Structure 1
């Protein structure tokens, strides 16, 4: 996992807000290359990208977490399912401390295909880990729906 500063921060911003979709492939490959130091994605049954709200995804034209997850899936021969977890409530852009971020995403996700998560080891994929509020809420939602285990793997982390 990289630090979300300097060149990496610029690359993430270009991907998300600059429409540079091809960066998703390159950054996803970096995730494949560095995964071995952090975890073994092959221990998981399914990769799940952290979803955007449909309005945000429509405006952006893509979900950056899906682009990253597809590359990680390709690199490790794992399935990716971006329809299992849905953002059911639009949330404000994340800011503030841990408590504010947790409140912001509470109840924002739902499992749409419980059959795909029941008794499965799932790996959430996202671009940036800041406080863990989004990943934590996604994991809670998946575990409540019957997932056996939920791991989190992100491209970068904010320190």
Structure 2
């Protein structure tokens, strides 16, 4: 059972004022994993997934998610993205997604990188969900884990 909040001292949502900060080069790398059945991983490798090219679609989805983070996360500033890279590593039992986001501005880009990784992994799940379901319609193997900021850089 979830705890119930009876009183919240400061319930006002507020975007942080970054107007006094200087513009600097910023970069964030985020990563995460999706665990899948061996047969599903093989189908992704061989390009035989019914919905199409899983990783190419996930790469496009991650890019769109990074560019639209401020529309998804309410207190996130819209920022001028300089570059986005999305890579996948085929590991034993899972795929790891890594998203690197760069920009020059007054606020960090870690939320954009985290959003990109999350949407990439969700897109993989969506594209292979029919292969991942068991006879009862459940997902006994499929799991998204370890979404995290791997590295954050500020300045040159």
Normalised TM-score (structure 1)? 0.30
Structure with more contact order per residue of length (Cα contacts < 8 Å, sep ≥ 6): 2
Larger radius of gyration: 2
Task: Compare the two structures and name the one with the higher helix fraction.
Answer: 1
Normalised TM-score (structure 2)? 0.30
Task: Compare the two structures and name the one with the higher strand fraction.
Answer: 2
